[in-house]
Structure 1
Amino acid sequence: MKIKSLLLLGGVGLLWLNNSQAANILSNKTTLKIIHYKPALADDITIKGKITDKSGPIPGATISLKSNLGVGTSTDGEGNFVIKVPADGILIVKSVGYKTQEISVQGKTIFNITLIEENNNLSDVVVVGYSTKKQGELSSSVSIISAEKLKGVASNDVISMIQGKAPGVVVSSASGDPTAAPKINIRGISSINGGTAPLLVVDGNILGAYGSEGATYSPNDVESITILKDAAATGLYGSRAGSGVIIVTTKTGKAGESKIEFNSVVGFNSPSTGKFKLMNSQQLYDYQKTFSNPNSSVLNNDTNWWDLATRDGMTQNYTVSASGGTEKTRYYVAGNFYREQGTVISNDKNAYNLRTNLSSQLTKKLKLSLLLNGVFTRDNYANSNSLGDGYLNLPFDPAYNVDGTPVDPRITPSWLGRDVENFLHSTQYNLSYARSLNLSADVNLDYNIVKNLTFSSYNRTTFYNTFSVDYYDKRTKEGGATNGSLYNSTTYKNRLLSSNRLKYENSFGENHLTVLAVGEAEKSYYDEANLNGKNLPAGRPVMSTATDIISNPSGGTNEYNFSKYLSQVDYNYAGKYFAIASFVHENSSRFGINKSGGDFYQMGASWILSNEQFLKGIKPISFLKLRASYGTTGNAEIGDYPSLGLYSIDTGASYGGLPGASPSQKGNPNLTWEKQKTANIGFDIGFWNRIDLSVDLYDKRSNALLFFVPLPSTEGYKGYFDNVGALKNRGLEFNLTTKNFTGAFKWETNLNMAFNRNTILKLTNDKDAINPGGSQPSAVGRDIFDWKMPIWAGVDPNNGDPLWEKVITDADGVQHIAVTNTYAQATRQYTGTSATPKFTGGFTNTFSYKGISLSTFFNFVYGNEVYNDSRAYFDNDGLYESYNAMVLKSGWNRWEKIGDVATHPKPVLGGNHDSNQQSTRYLEDGSYIRLRNITLGYQIPDSWLSKIKISSARVFVSGDNLWTGTKFSGIDPEVDLTSGVSSFRYPLNKKVLFGVNIGL
């Protein structure tokens, strides 16, 4: 090392000498006194390197010079970096979630640095917007669900699998039917007439609102799910992200040895009836004797229609995948078959999926990715009468003739049931199914124009086709009136999307800056055709065999387009201070010609306090970050032509044999985007690298709500769409993860909960409610789903009559509550309850020890009221004596004599004073906690597998929906939370599954 010394010669002069000069002077025994020395800067050298962890490259890691923090850079997407520093310098390497390292250069020019994780969650790289970031660097509210966390629950729909896994994300289903998709809401209902499903993004490209088209991926191919909730997170999708964004990232190959994996799951489904039971013949006979005079001969039959309508089914799920590649080319190829038999007869789902993900670094600057996916599905639907008949048919009626064939009630004089329907008879002839094919192809290019500047072009095309059949054979009740009928429907959808992105990313010392500009365009085509015919020969469900039509063919074609321009600036300093801001302008053909464009903006900031010196000494706190964001997002899910004046085909308006049309929708050239303004504050804190807590508070206000305004018939139109009204959602979310044991025996716990309240702030034309006469009026100042109906006051102990509350206003204007046994006099009142839960959440425990693993997952909903609509049919106090009845729940009783305090009125043939009319009698607590999944697995030791040349193998057994705790009297308390109504519920499926995962 060169040293320049400051010497005092003879006590007079000052000289700067190098080492050799000083040595010569000293060798001549010159008297010198050394006062000071100063190191000379070593020659700068260019070094290259790669920063990784145990899983692979670490993008965005910062490398700076310890002696001059202004000299620095960051790693690219592959973890590579280049920097020019002195040959004797010391490098500081930092990345959120990893331990900081100091590396001495010592003249070396190539470095491969492996960072050690300090907090696994913080170092996870997640997809956010049009780029990736480490979880610890986010300034927004985001939930990440890995493929590992999706395991356990058996489903062919990812949305079903995330139920209870993320705070503020509510998944609900009104049916256990495997062909039925669940509903999902993020942070409450943000629209009244507009769509409330989140935007779905798959592998970086917009797919559309969830449920808008068939599945385009298999859950087995999913690498991770990222759920964006606040404005800063949804920013770049802000124009259509008012209800949140779900980003699905599918699996890719990794450089290195090729892997072949086989996964198999086989199990059995059984229908769950909860606390609900229907009467057998003896019970029903004894019950009917209290209000009628049934003939004892009815006891000759005891048919369990529920057991005949339901069954034990089988679930099968098989996946074979191959992945691998080199540093330049990587691949992932997978095929999947999924079959689930519904627990209602003749109902099942069959899905076949093939995916190929390829990526290749064609040159040093150009990368190509090709993603191909195909899904073929066949859904067989249950007979439309199976479920209803299973609930309502009388056990007195026989299901089969003496010869074993199903009874045809139409020719059975002794049939007593009201609906004269035996679904077993019609099921053997009728058909109802749909088949669909969904193909998608992504071609993505990433080109490094110059250092730190990248251009990317992401392009997708999708083709979606469905064909459905409903056939009613002439031998059945449903097909008898038309001498056999057939309904065919065909749909075709094609979407084209091109997203072109320019990104600049650079580091200036400890300053890291990313600037993004995007231009995006989307075009969609949709066609539909519907045909029907009648007079078909028995057993010939083909339209060419029909000799007449039921109604004229129908159909149509739709188109829409979106175009978007956006910019974003993302900045962080020293891994401590983060800020992000974006602006989006989007146009849509769905809105009026005067206001088709919408402007949206988002901003967020965060501060990692744990990286500050004043917190370094507080050892219990391993991580602490504060976050805040604010911005606007939008909603365009209101149909394709809401702003145009529309006509409907009207057969009554035909003239001279030519079709006619009548006005249906009035045009509105000023119709524009529905907007949400969201503010979010939150913090993330970790203790001892074992306890992680995230908390978020938000306020989301929806303005310019898209709403169909009805018009009086004198206007000549049914109505028009306009921007009217406003509502707000406020809530609190938290997610807590604790690592209780971390040794050979591991135990991890996760609890997430969300509290949300919504309020309607304003409606069009100063209206008080959207539906004033409905059971959920959606009134100003109230929850959208507040219940309003006559309030049940119990049973009159003197005579067994039903009672309801009646509000009486006296001469002074003071209101008093009286009771009445006349339903027409009962007062419709707000019940003080809502279909909206007070809170929702999930609770997971994971245990592992020497290859043995056990996980339990509960999800829960609390504080919502469910209207059990089906009780009006089988809990009706004698009104429908030709329907079966339910066995009263424990604690319920019927009035029998004067003085009885009963929950149920006296049964009376023909009904007791309209006791089964809508009232809070059938409004029940819908709260529940459910053991959603429990899985016990064993990882077979490698030493056992090496002999048969298998790299890994795991066997497991799991159970879904094995236990539910609830007060609800019906089959299942889980309902579509956007309606809160339970009616002839398809039973929940309990599943016991056995699986094996093998890696070669």
Structure 2
Amino acid sequence: MNIKYLIFLGAATLLGANKSYALTPDNPLKKNNAQSLISSKLADKNLINSFADITVKGKITDSAGPVPGASITLKSNPSIGTSTDGSGNFVITVPADGILVIKSIGYKTLEVPVQNKTSINIKLEEENNSLSDVVVVGYSSKKQGELSSSVTVLSAEKLKGVATNDVVNMIQGKAPGVVVSSGSGDPTSAPKINIRGISSINGGTAPLLVVDGNILGAYGSEGATYSPNDVESVTILKDAAATGLYGSRAGSGVIIVTTKSGKAGESKIEFNSVVGFNTPSNGKFHLMDSQQLYDYQKTFSNPNPSVLNTNTNWWDLATRTGMTQNYTVSASGGSEKMKYYISGNYYREQGTVVNNDKNAYNLRANLNGQLTPKLKLSLLLNGVFTKDNYQTGNTLGDAYLNLPYDPAYNPDGTPVDPRITPTWLGRDIENFLHSTQYNFSNARSLNLSADLNLDYNIAKHLTFSSYNRTTFFNSFSVDYYDKRTKEGGSTNGALYNSTDYKNRLLSSNRLKYENSFGAHHLTALAVGEAEKSYYDVASLNGKNLPAGRPVMSTATDIISNPSGGLNEYNFSKYLSQVDYDYAGKYFAVASFVHENSSRFGLNNSGGDFYQLGASWILSNEQFLKGIKPISFLKLRASYGTTGNAEIGDYPSLGLYAIDASASYGGVPGARPSQKGNPDLTWEKQKTTNLGFDIGFWNRIDLSVDVYDKRSNALLFQVPLPSTEGYSYIFQNVGALKNRGLEFNLTTKNFTGEFTWETNLNMAFNRNTILQLTDNKDAISPGGSQPKAIGRDIYDWKMPIWAGVDPNNGDPLWEKVIVDADGVEHIAVTNTYAQATRQYTGTSATPKFTGGFTNTFGYKGLTLSAFFNFVYGNEIYNNSRAYFDNDGLYESYNAMVLQSGWSRWSKIGDVATHPKPVLGGNHDSNQQSSRYLEDGSYIRLRNITLGYQIPASWLSKIKISSARIFVSGDNLWTATRFTGVDPEVDLSSGISSFKYPISKKVLFGINVGL
């Protein structure tokens, strides 16, 4: 065949001939026909231009602004492509008649013809899901759909409802694997939080807190540096790939708080007000009144009938209806070059126990300026002033234990002083009403923080950032016991003052490279970071104070010598990370962290940590495009190491104490106080995580994760024998593991004018101690929670309650007897000292936790109901040893028996409670499984009904938006627990004289101008 004909044929085909030519022996291509065709096409100048490559510039946005990281590829050749930068801009060179394919997770895919245009601006339409939400992770941000790690994101909208001044309380029940628990309803106390179980035995278990991109420290280690009203979102990082760049101190997870910022062109003034009432909830628990207690005590003693002349309800006197107030005013807005957000907040919550409240004042200013086309500056200023009034003395204890026989007030209306009342019958001779007239306990604190962040575009794909923070925290606490009270009587008046000061300096400098090569997208990050912290404290006390003069200068003597100290520590970190994705389908991330800490020994002060993660979005593959029900499907896997350094500031050093105990002849002396360990090093966690995310019809979203987290080189304060000359030494001992399953399900049941959305999240976690040093089987062999190898950290071990002997009403416990063949048999005994300590088969660790939310909407009306639940944990109800003691403490009040409980009174009775005996019945109230109770519960944590007032109604008074609502917190709880409240600190599992949780009814209004 003539080669010329092939050339003519190729040219004709490339020029788009609308007639088909085939080379066959029967149909040869005629030379003159092909030449004619080519000449005709070449004569069409416009068509020739349509085939030339042109450079196209553009910007991709959505309804909220630029869309960074969007993929732009040529449809006919996907290897030609690019992605948008941080401002949504892109540049690509393609044929003038090409078709651009625009993809970005969370948006509908678009095909845009070039049509010889050199400038194209494109607006993407969201797919009505959260995949396009930008999530702050590590030292950067990503779209949620692109993550290879286990992350939970809670927007400000999802955090709404619960009335509190602590964001962690708002998280409770809303994120799988995140367990928030509180041992008290006191508004001045902070909750405990654990992420994916307990990662350490002796070291800190609180997650690392990061605010606006800078490390703050372990949760609870410092006063609050932000108001919940200023929070834009909370991101919870759970696996190693997520916590990666914070890995050196992120063994217990990371909570990232992002505060609000202004938006260009949107000048807003908003006012939010919430006012409501708090009432104490005592659950199923009730104390006896005089008649009930008299009838009970007659069964084992001879109370004087005159005691019935008085019927004091101490619980009602100690508790009250409090008030919650929360007011916020904010202004935000700006231009493309300068944005601002300024807010002020006042929060006050009166506790449901008298003389107890929290007051917090917050002022924030977030300023973001584009100083030059290449330089961006952010200045974040925040101040929080807090004043806490604590419950004074033994108010709560008296509420539980004082006898109803004793009067609270004298005939003239003044509180009774039990010390001078000869008819007082209560054991503790206390009347908190008398003490609280004069005594008080409070603290005030000021927390200031300032962030100065700079971002500079060195080149098109290269950015340098410097994030810097300084914080100042100062607090002063006072405890005063007047000489006229029982508490201050022995010292003729006592005053305790304590002040502490903290200052932290942090500088984090980051170099970031980001570029696209066709369908390939690469991000590389290098960071150098240094942190320095100072802390000092001073405490002093005095006695012999004049009545009503709580000032140290009025004291004429001291109770003990003044004390104080100065601490310093520092961290330095170097890290790198590479993040890669291809065609919006395959994602991989790898990071390495090296950190040094002054807390560890000279031989091991540095720690190396690494993280790997990968994910695959199968729904972007062609073979799944035809499966209509599946709107999104992604597989995720990660593995890596993280660390824990929360063990105090000087655990590796040999220390001496200079104090009064070592002085001689009035001259200061020093004594050994801590043995040094130069080999002490980081506690490390190794975590494997597998997960998937799947969506159906853009209405059902399910995320599932399974994980295995193993902690090694556990930090522990090991006791030493007295012959060593030291009490303890810090060492790396043992190992433990946490394994678990988490899932989060969201369904949009109705999406029309009437909307209904449901969310359910649950988490299952099991922990096991794997190893202990020095051939130990348990850390605390004689304790009720021994922390033994092969067992849960919080497994209970104690004598097993065997009920009541029906023949005589004695208490019974199990006694293990081993026969001659070594076989164990279970017998019973009424002698507590002979009872065998055994594992009860229960734990303070829940089998699962979670939350359940339903949100309804119709026109401007919304209704949401949020439940949280805990299942499978056992609580030790320690307070029952005092007021459910079978006659041991006849000078304490007693609890009313629960439904189904009964006391033994005659031979043959099958009872739950032994025969009451004056002075106690065979130690029946000693520690045993008798007081272990099911701690499972489900609670209506919040219900809110709101109405968005139509804009047409508001336009006449020049208000842009207004919403009114009513909400309730903790209105209903279902539980078998017999105490005041089943929610306890899950790190101990003990309930003792619990401060009641508050039921709250709140009314609010949000107004925008």
Give the TM bin, normalised by the shorter chain.
over 0.9
Q: What amino acid sits opposite 2:289 in the alignment? A: N
Partner of 1:106: 115
Matched, 1:591 2:600: yes
Is this contact kept in 2: 1:5–1:16, CA < 8 A?
A: no
Partner of 2:7: none
Is this contact kept in 1: 2:349–2:359, CA < 8 A?
A: yes
Shift of the 483–454 alpha-carbon distance from structure 1 to 2, 3 Å rule, reads same
Shift of the 325–418 alpha-carbon distance from structure 1 to 2, 3 Å rule, reads same
Matched residue SS, 1:489: strand
Matched residue SS, 2:643: strand
Counting aligned pairs with the same residue, the percent is: 84
Q: What amino acid sits opposite 1:336 in the alignment? A: N
Q: Distance in 1 between matches of 2:371 and 2:498?
A: 45
Shift of the 13–191 alpha-carbon distance from structure 1 to 2, 3 Å rule, reads same
The 5-angstrom pairing of residues 334-353 of structure 1 reads 334-353=343-362
- In structure 2, which of residues 120, 129, 140 is the aligned counterpart of residue 131 of structure 1? 140
Deviation at 1:12, TM superposition (A): 7.0
- Map Cα deviations across residues 475-528 of structure 1 (whole Å, 9 max, x no partner): 111111111110000000000000000000111111111001000000000010
- Map Cα deviations across residues 91-115 of structure 1 (whole Å, 9 max, x no partner): 1111011111011222333333111
The 5-angstrom pairing of residues 409-424 of structure 1 reads 409-424=418-433
Is this contact kept in 2: 1:5–1:18, CA < 8 A?
A: no
Deviation at 1:17, TM superposition (A): 7.7
Partner of 2:822: 813
- In structure 2, which of residues 854, 862, 875 is the aligned counterpart of residue 853 of structure 1? 862
Partner of 2:656: 647
Matched, 1:91 2:91: no
Deviation at 1:90, TM superposition (A): 1.9
Matched residue SS, 1:256: coil
The 5-angstrom pairing of residues 29-108 of structure 1 reads 42-108=51-117
The runs of 5 or more residues in structure 1 that have no matched partner are: 25-36
- Map Cα deviations across residues 789-811 of structure 1 (whole Å, 9 max, x no partner): 00000000000000000000001
Is this contact kept in 2: 1:5–1:19, CA < 8 A?
A: no
Partner of 1:511: 520
Q: What amino acid sits opposite 2:249 in the alignment? A: R
Is this contact kept in 2: 1:833–1:864, CA < 8 A?
A: yes
Partner of 1:992: 1001
- In structure 2, which of residues 572, 580, 589 is the aligned counterpart of residue 563 of structure 1? 572
Is this contact kept in 1: 2:42–2:48, CA < 8 A?
A: no
Is this contact kept in 2: 1:265–1:994, CA < 8 A?
A: yes
Partner of 2:486: 477
Q: What amino acid sits opposite 1:335 in the alignment? A: G
Partner of 1:326: 335
Shift of the 10–890 alpha-carbon distance from structure 1 to 2, 3 Å rule, reads closer
TM-score, scaled relative to structure 1: 0.97
Deviation at 1:363, TM superposition (A): 0.5
Partner of 1:730: 739
Supply the RMSD in Å over aligned alpha carbons. Answer: 1.7
Partner of 1:684: 693
Partner of 2:840: 831
- Map Cα deviations across residues 298-348 of structure 1 (whole Å, 9 max, x no partner): 011000000000000000000000011111111100000000000000000
Q: What amino acid sits opposite 1:688 in the alignment? A: W
- In structure 2, which of residues 182, 193, 197 is the aligned counterpart of residue 188 of structure 1? 197
Partner of 2:790: 781
Matched residue SS, 1:736: strand
Is this contact kept in 1: 2:56–2:120, CA < 8 A?
A: yes
Matched, 1:435 2:451: no
Partner of 1:660: 669
Matched residue SS, 2:266: strand
Deviation at 1:23, TM superposition (A): 5.8
Partner of 1:718: 727
Shift of the 195–600 alpha-carbon distance from structure 1 to 2, 3 Å rule, reads same
Partner of 2:936: 927
Q: For structure 1, which segment, 792-801 or 12-21, has the greater mean C-alpha deviation from structure 2 after superposition?
A: 12-21
- In structure 2, which of residues 676, 698, 709 is the aligned counterpart of residue 700 of structure 1? 709
Q: For structure 1, which segment, 903-912 or 63-72, has the greater mean C-alpha deviation from structure 2 after superposition?
A: 63-72
Deviation at 1:50, TM superposition (A): 2.1
Q: Distance in 2 between matches of 1:639 and 1:21?
A: 81
Matched residue SS, 1:714: helix
Partner of 1:32: none
The 5-angstrom pairing of residues 496-645 of structure 1 reads 496-645=505-654
Q: Distance in 1 between matches of 2:553 and 2:232?
A: 47
Q: What amino acid sits opposite 1:281 in the alignment? A: S
Q: For structure 1, which segment, 659-668 or 605-614, has the greater mean C-alpha deviation from structure 2 after superposition?
A: 659-668
- In structure 2, which of residues 462, 468, 472 is the aligned counterpart of residue 459 of structure 1? 468
- Count of aligned pairs between the two proteins: 988
Q: Distance in 2 between matches of 1:566 and 1:340?
A: 43
Is this contact kept in 1: 2:227–2:345, CA < 8 A?
A: yes
Q: Distance in 2 between matches of 1:659 and 1:97?
A: 69
* Runs of 4+, deviation exceeding 6 Å: 5-10, 37-41
Is this contact kept in 2: 1:939–1:954, CA < 8 A?
A: yes
- In structure 2, which of residues 495, 502, 522 is the aligned counterpart of residue 493 of structure 1? 502
The 5-angstrom pairing of residues 878-897 of structure 1 reads 878-897=887-906
- In structure 2, which of residues 839, 851, 868 is the aligned counterpart of residue 842 of structure 1? 851
Partner of 1:34: none
Matched, 1:362 2:358: no
Is this contact kept in 1: 2:786–2:795, CA < 8 A?
A: yes
TM-score, scaled relative to structure 2: 0.96
- Map Cα deviations across residues 616-651 of structure 1 (whole Å, 9 max, x no partner): 111111111100000000000000000000122342
Deviation at 1:719, TM superposition (A): 1.3
The 5-angstrom pairing of residues 199-238 of structure 1 reads 199-238=208-247
Q: Distance in 1 between matches of 2:251 and 2:36?
A: 69
Partner of 2:915: 906
Matched residue SS, 1:766: coil
- In structure 2, which of residues 168, 171, 174 is the aligned counterpart of residue 162 of structure 1? 171
Deviation at 1:81, TM superposition (A): 2.2
Matched, 1:267 2:263: no
Q: Distance in 1 between matches of 2:748 and 2:680?
A: 52
Matched, 1:290 2:294: no
Matched residue SS, 2:648: coil
Q: Distance in 2 between matches of 1:376 and 1:485?
A: 27
Shift of the 885–50 alpha-carbon distance from structure 1 to 2, 3 Å rule, reads same
Is this contact kept in 1: 2:150–2:239, CA < 8 A?
A: yes
Q: For structure 1, which segment, 551-560 or 1-10, has the greater mean C-alpha deviation from structure 2 after superposition?
A: 1-10
Partner of 1:27: none
Shift of the 695–287 alpha-carbon distance from structure 1 to 2, 3 Å rule, reads same
Is this contact kept in 2: 1:5–1:17, CA < 8 A?
A: no
Q: Distance in 1 between matches of 2:479 and 2:760?
A: 45
Q: Distance in 2 between matches of 1:4 and 1:316?
A: 76
Is this contact kept in 1: 2:270–2:1007, CA < 8 A?
A: yes
Is this contact kept in 2: 1:521–1:563, CA < 8 A?
A: yes
Is this contact kept in 2: 1:5–1:38, CA < 8 A?
A: no
Matched residue SS, 2:903: coil
Q: What amino acid sits opposite 2:99 in the alignment? A: I
- Map Cα deviations across residues 137-172 of structure 1 (whole Å, 9 max, x no partner): 000000010100000000000000100000000000
Is this contact kept in 2: 1:800–1:896, CA < 8 A?
A: yes
Q: For structure 1, which segment, 115-124 or 706-715, has the greater mean C-alpha deviation from structure 2 after superposition?
A: 115-124
Matched residue SS, 1:252: coil
Shift of the 21–860 alpha-carbon distance from structure 1 to 2, 3 Å rule, reads closer
Q: What amino acid sits opposite 1:318 in the alignment? A: Y
Q: Distance in 1 between matches of 2:71 and 2:393?
A: 62
Q: What amino acid sits opposite 1:888 in the alignment? A: L
Matched residue SS, 2:165: coil
Is this contact kept in 2: 1:222–1:248, CA < 8 A?
A: yes
Is this contact kept in 1: 2:877–2:932, CA < 8 A?
A: yes
- Map Cα deviations across residues 50-102 of structure 1 (whole Å, 9 max, x no partner): 22222222211111222332322212222222333333332111101111101
The runs of 5 or more residues in structure 2 that have no matched partner are: 1-10, 22-27
Partner of 1:398: 407
Is this contact kept in 2: 1:4–1:19, CA < 8 A?
A: no
